[in-house]
């Protein structure tokens, strides 16, 4: 299917009425998706459907709702082989912020390259943040669920404060995510085949030469359908505990989602992967004794049915899946401790698992520390992690009632 063939028809008109919180009517009226205007955001407790707005050439209609006029159309790709690589979708969202720190109204543009000054703050001094969240297609084929988008908005705002950047408001952020997901609705995988990964970026795009905050910022959201993050799929991963390289230092930026944190782990990760490990588990840089996190996710251990995870103290990312997992575990009756967790405890744990937006929940099958390999489980999830994984993912995919009020329904 040629991407040019799915240009939206005239008179796009999105109506989305989330079941929990957000109802946004977006109007846009040209073939090129001119800037939509946000008429309202209101709180609502009922879900109202619409036709989703974009008229697309049917390419692979694999799901439809025969009881209504709604028709869900999917991009023509092999949904069984989607991994965690970029599959460019149709549109990206772009919003600029001027020198006064005010964001203009954002707009949807065709997904594509952007132009940037060689002197941009993000390129020269790493002034950039990103976020990651997911949208799931519900079983009915038409409703899409976002998982806790306000949490990403708040985390981006915290990170922006640390990085001396202005940031979109929570409302602007959630509207932008909503609009981007709906514009790319055909890229949200069918139920059970993965999710649409949403990647918001905030970066200093104004030109600087001397070290200073950039004079202008750009907020972009792009999306890609994704499947499992690790090549192991949902099979257990094998971690190596890193003793030399560190991800973060006290007082540094390890607790915010700045782009540099991820460049900093590439070296250790590459070495580990070359040796056959799935990823790296970092220790604190002072005592080299306490667990921090894996390159792209948080870590949990289970011992005698008590769940423990490193506490948030500035050097690990406050993961939204981590936080959700803690709440899910407590509602399931488990004792959960957020505290310093030693590498010795890790080696003696009954179960170990990782959480993250991209990773979701991944069981750890083995950990190697100073040449000693310790294995967990029998090639699958442990009992506790399986239970928590099932509850969390059922909630994210809309398979069980969302008593936590975490999901936002876009229809």
Judge whether 195 and 136 are in contact, CB under 8 Å.
yes
> Is residue 260 a contact residue for ligand COI (CB under 6 A)?
no
Q: Tell me if 357 contacts ligand COI by CB under 6 A.
A: yes
Give the nearest residue (CB) to ligand COI.
132
Q: Shortest Cβ distance from residue 134 to ligand COI (Å)?
A: 8
| Least CB distance to ligand COI at residue 359 (A) | 6
Smallest gap from residue 149 Cβ to ligand COI (A) = 13
Q: 357 or 411: whose CB is closer to ligand COI? A: 357
Binding mask 319-348 for ligand COI (x = CB under 6 A): ------------------------------
400 phi/psi in degrees, rounded to 5: -130, 165
Instruction: Report residue 332: phi and psi, to 5°.
Output: -85, 5
What SS3 string covers 295-329?
Answer: CCEEEEEEECCEEEEECCCCCCCCCHHHHHHHHHH
Q: Which stretch binds ligand COI (CB under 6 A): 15-23, 269-277, 355-363, 368-376?
A: 355-363
CB of 197 to ligand COI, least distance (A): 7
Long-range contacts of the stretch 348-351 (C-beta < 8 A, 24+): 348/303, 349/301, 349/302, 349/303, 349/376, 350/302, 350/303, 350/304, 350/376, 350/382, 350/384, 351/301, 351/302, 351/376, 351/377, 351/382, 351/383, 351/384, 351/385
Angle 404-160-169 (CA atoms, 0-180°, nearest 5)?
55
- Residue 313 tokens read as 């103290």
The binder of ligand COI chosen from 356, 363, 377, 398 (CB under 6 A): 356
Binding piece for ligand COI, criterion CB under 6 A, among 70-78, 119-127, 186-194, 356-364: 356-364
CA distance 173 to 152: 9
CA R_g for the chain:
22
Report if residue 358 touches ligand COI, rule: CB under 6 A.
yes
Q: Least CB distance from residue 29 to ligand COI, whole Å?
A: 34
Name residues whose C-beta falls within 8 Å of residue 401's C-beta, 6 or more positions apart in sequence.
Answer: none
CB of 58 to ligand COI, least distance (A): 32
Q: Indicate if 386 belongs to the active site.
A: no
Is the CB of 86 or the CB of 164 nearer to ligand COI? 86
Residue 296 binds ligand COI, judged by CB under 6 A: yes
Our finding on whether 298 is near ligand COI (CB under 6 A) is: no
- Residue 392 near ligand COI by CB under 6 A: no
Nearer to ligand COI, 14 or 187 (CB): 187
132 binds ligand COI (CB under 6 A): yes
> For ligand COI, how many residues bind (rule: CB under 6 A)?
6
Tokens of 135: 């949208």
Q: Choose, from 257, 273, 313, 386, the residue flagged as catalytic.
A: 257
**Cα separations (Å) of 75 from 8, 62, 148?**
14, 9, 25
Phi-psi region of 360 (alpha: psi -120 to 50; beta: other; left: phi over 0): left
Binding site for ligand COI (CB under 6 A): 132, 262, 296, 356-358
**Residues taking part in catalysis:** 257
């Amino acid at each position: 299917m040629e991407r040019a063939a799915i240009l939206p028809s005239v008179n796009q008109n999105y109506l989305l009425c989330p079941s929990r919180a957000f109802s946004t009517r977006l109007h846009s009226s040209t073939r090129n998706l001119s800037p939509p205007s946000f008429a309202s955001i209101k709180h609502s407790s009922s879900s109202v459907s619409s036709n989703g707005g974009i008229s697309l050439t049917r390419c692979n209609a694999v799901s439809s709702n025969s009881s209504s006029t709604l028709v869900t159309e999917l991009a023509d790709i092999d949904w069984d082989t989607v991994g965690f690589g970029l599959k460019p979708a149709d549109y990206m969202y772009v919003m600029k912020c001027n020198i006064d720190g005010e964001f203009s109204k954002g707009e949807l543009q065709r997904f594509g390259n952007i132009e940037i000054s060689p002197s941009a703050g993000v390129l020269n001094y790493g002034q950039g943040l990103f976020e990651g969240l997911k949208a799931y297609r519900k079983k009915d084929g038409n409703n899409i669920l976002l998982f806790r988008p306000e949490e990403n908005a708040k985390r981006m705002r915290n990170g922006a404060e640390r990085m001396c950047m202005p940031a979109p408001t929570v409302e602007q952020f959630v509207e932008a995510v909503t609009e981007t997901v709906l514009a790319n609705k055909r890229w949200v995988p069918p139920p059970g085949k993965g999710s649409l990964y949403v990647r918001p970026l905030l970066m200093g795009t104004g030109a600087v030469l001397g070290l200073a905050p950039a004079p202008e910022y750009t907020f972009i959201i792009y999306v890609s359908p994704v499947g499992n993050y690790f090549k192991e799929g949902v099979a257990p991963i094998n971690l190596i505990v890193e003793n030399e390289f560190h991800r973060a230092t006290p007082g540094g930026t390890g607790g915010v989602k700045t782009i540099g944190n991820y460049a900093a782990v590439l070296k250790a990760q590459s070495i580990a992967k070359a040796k056959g490990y799935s990823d790296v588990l970092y220790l604190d840089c002072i005592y080299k004794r306490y667990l921090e996190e894996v390159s792209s996710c948080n870590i949990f251990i289970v011992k005698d049915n008590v769940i423990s995870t490193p506490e948030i103290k500035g050097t690990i990312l406050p993961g939204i899946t981590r936080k959700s997992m803690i709440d899910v575990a407590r509602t399931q009756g488990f004792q959960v401790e957020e505290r310093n967790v030693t590498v010795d405890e890790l080696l003696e744990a009954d179960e170990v698992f990782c959480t993250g937006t991209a990773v979701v929940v991944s069981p750890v099958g083995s950990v190697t520390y100073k040449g000693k390999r310790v294995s967990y489980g029998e090639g699958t999830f442990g009992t506790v992690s399986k239970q928590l994984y099932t509850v969390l993912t059922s909630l994210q995919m809309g398979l069980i009632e969302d008593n936590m009020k975490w999901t936002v329904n876009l229809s």
